Structures are given as structure tokens and as C-alpha cells.
A and B are shown apart, each in its own frame.
Chain A
Amino acid sequence: MTTATLIRRRPGLAGIRTDRSWLFRICLGFVALLVLLAIVAPWIAPHDPNAVDLGSALAGPSGAHPAGVDASGRDTLSRLLVGARTSLLGPLGVVVFSTVAGVAVGLAAGWRGGWLDSLLSRGTELVFAFPGMLLAILIVSVYGPGLTAPVLALGVAYLPYVSRLTRSLVLAERERPYVEAYRVQGHSGLQISLRHVLPNIAPVVLAQSTINFGYALIDLAGLSFLGLGVPPLTPDWGRMVFDGESAIQSGYPLSAILPCLAIVMTVVAFNVVGERWADQVARRDR
């Protein structure tokens, strides 16, 4: 089995290839811009994202409010900018957790085998039956709304995808001659796996994690949309879509459309970048 088939791709998205490198560049640029904006958001946001100005509620774009005002009289642009932080930090938490823990579990299972390996495959089976979103909802129903519990739940739900990938990569890597050479020289298994195996498998795992970022963003934004994610006042894109629903009903769709666009564009950008990396890794493999 090649690496390309192991990565849990957006199925069929592999069509975005070299001939569309302009798309990749645009998406990579968009991701970079987004991260930059999220970092500097508190300083460049024109208003306090929670400042309520009921007098201008649902107002259209103007000099003071370039992207209009939502139903509660809050500045949409400021909420979008500051909301980018929550909307990106959540998926980042999921991806970091699932990558670090998944690589650790996968390395151990691949290197040691035995009971750890069979436990991993059982766990993978279970998690595949449990959509990440469902696990997150289950946890929220126990702990109550908030970002930490769903991020951890999704981190757990995404972990097997990373660990399964890592395990198979480690199994392949273990057979390479250089590992035996290091072993003969008296290096310990832990040393070899951390210093030599890990760097070799990192690009594949990172491609997988980038694709996971898009999934996590969709799941977390969905939870916030349900009111189960971030606390009510925190600016967040999913939450903004929920708030914007009532504005849409009253015929002022702008405050809902903009966060919708932000979510779609971000997910698409991460997908395209991740898939492109996965393709490159697959090609290098061949």
C-alpha cells in the first residue's frame, strides 16, 4: 500500500495537481494572510467586537462599519477579525493534540507491536464508528458548553487517523537498512525512532494534519453554530452564522453571509494546500 492511499484524504480531491498550481499559491497565500490577520486582529479591529450599538443594528456597510453591523448592533468586521482567532485556534488545538498523541501512539505501536498494536487497531475500529462530531456532542452534554472539551474530544476522534498512518509509515521505515546500521552501532530504539525515523515520516504526517485542520474547523464551527462550542459572547465564525440566522430572517443577510464565506474560503484553502502536499509526498514516494 502506498502512502498516498493511507492518508485520509478528502476523497477524490487529488485532482488538484500541478497544472493548477496557481490555485495552490492563492490558497497558500490566503492561509498566510489569515494567520497574520488572526494574530494582529485585536490591534487592527476597528471596534470592540462586543461593543453594542443597538441604534445601528443591522445597518449596511458604512465608513464606520465597513462590513455592516449585526442584529445585536456589533461591528461585523471586528467580529470577523477577532473571531478568526477562535476559529483557527480551536482546529489548531485539535490538530496539535491529535498529531502529537497520534504520532506517539503510532510510533510505539509500529516500533513495539504487540498488545499496543492490537489495542490501536481496536480503537481505530471504534472511532471509525463514532463520528468526531458525535463524540464532541457527547462530551459537551456532560461538561457543558465550552471550547476545551470539544477540542479534546475531536483530538481523540482524529487521533487514530494519525496513529494508523504513523504506524504503517514506521513499519515501512523499520525495514530500511539504515535502521539496522544504527542498531548495530548500539543506538537505542528510542534514539533511532526519534532522531531518524520521525524526521523521515514527518512530511506525510503533516500533510494529513493539514487536511485534518479543515475537518476540525468544520466540526468546531458546527458546534459553535449549535451553541455548544464557544461561550455566547466570544466572537467566532460558527457562532456568527448562528447569530446571523435571525438577521437573515429579517432580510439583512450580510452579517450571516460574511462568516459563511470566511468559513468556506478557509476550509477550501486548507483542503487545497493539504491535498497538494499529500500529492507531493505521494509523488516523492513513487
Chain B
Amino acid sequence: MHLQANDVVMKFKGVTALDGVDMELRKGEIVGLIGPNGSGKTTFLNVLSGVFTPTNGNFRMGDRQWSKVSLREAARLGIRRTFQNIRLFPSFTVMETVEVASAWLDKGDRRENARIALDALNFGQYRDRIASELSYGMQRRLEIARAIAGRLEFLLVDEPTAGLNHGESQDIVEVLQRIRDQRGCGIVLIDHDLNVIMNVCDRVIVLAEGKIISSGTPQQVRSDPKVIAAYLGS
């Protein structure tokens, strides 16, 4: 199944954050979304996941087409996400954090389902800990655990390795690959660490000033003169 974005435009009071973005995402594929600061990466994720309603454009997944979707509806369609600034439920335990998604986006026993999602990310002994008291790296992983509980077609991950050391980053990369392999979902990954992007992604899309300026395999993108110019400003 594909997720198709057609001519997506997002304007904020005269500032054009996305300027006619066409994109096709496929299940089973990890796509890297890169570009300089302010190029529209996070805005695209926000539009795709229903945080913002795009000024123009539409999306299609399977036989469904939409131009406007709420966060909740997107989640129910299986378009799940994490946030650039970690958004957990500060008073919740690790278990409860994932239970919320199991309760609302999955069938069956919500606790059993949450336990399976947590075990998949090695959270076993931390289940009763308060989410906001976990280490930063664990909080990032918990956000991913919550995002994979219940229906999952496409996982949008915004800067999952920001603020993490090399070992923790590597751990997140492995987690994402494992989720893709086990669940067969598509993953869109935004990250500033180009090593992470180049290592893990099947395909890379480069945004600059709200437009796609390049896309292809990591090797193709890396040697594209337009990408080099956008990053180095020359």
C-alpha cells in the first residue's frame, strides 16, 4: 500500500512552508526526509499526521483520499508519529503511556497489547516507572513504543536521535529497522544526523524552502549538486 501526497501547500500568514510537495511513501520502506532548517520537514509531518490542515493538496492511501484529517483520524488510519520535542504523558507510568494507544487504536486486551509493544522495545522492567522520570533516551524510545501500539501503516519519526549519544542513536536506528521488518510499515525519518539517514534509509528526499529539490538512494542524493548547494549555501 502506498501513501501519496499530492501538491501539498502549507502557508502560515504569507509564509509558504510547503510549496507543492508531491511524495509517494511505500510500506516496508524507510524514507529519510532531510533539508536545512526551515525547509518544511516537520511541517510536512505535521500536515501528514493531522496537526495542521494544509492550505492546498490532498493525500491518498489505498482507496481513501482526504485533504483534511484530524490527528485522531490520522492515527486511526495507521499514520502514527513521534514528536520533535518529546511529548509523553508526564504523570503516566510507562505501561499506561502505551495502554492509551492500545485502548484507542487496537482491539483486545489493552494491557496485554501494551505489554507486547513494550517488550518489543525491551521496556520489561521499567513498566511501572513514571514516564517523565525516565532518561532522555528512554523517553524517546517510549514515544516510539506508544506510536507502534495498535494500527500501524506509516510511522513518522521526527528527530529521534536528537540529544542522544552515539550508542543510544544506534539503538534507536536498530529499533526502527526492527519495527519496519516486523510490522512491514513504512517509516518517514527526519534527522539532523546525516550518518543515521545515509545508513538506515532506503530512499532520501531533500526539501529546501518547502520544495523537493532531490530524491533517490542515499548515494544519489549525496552526490546531487543541488543538495550540496542547499546545504553549503553555494
A and B together in one complex: no
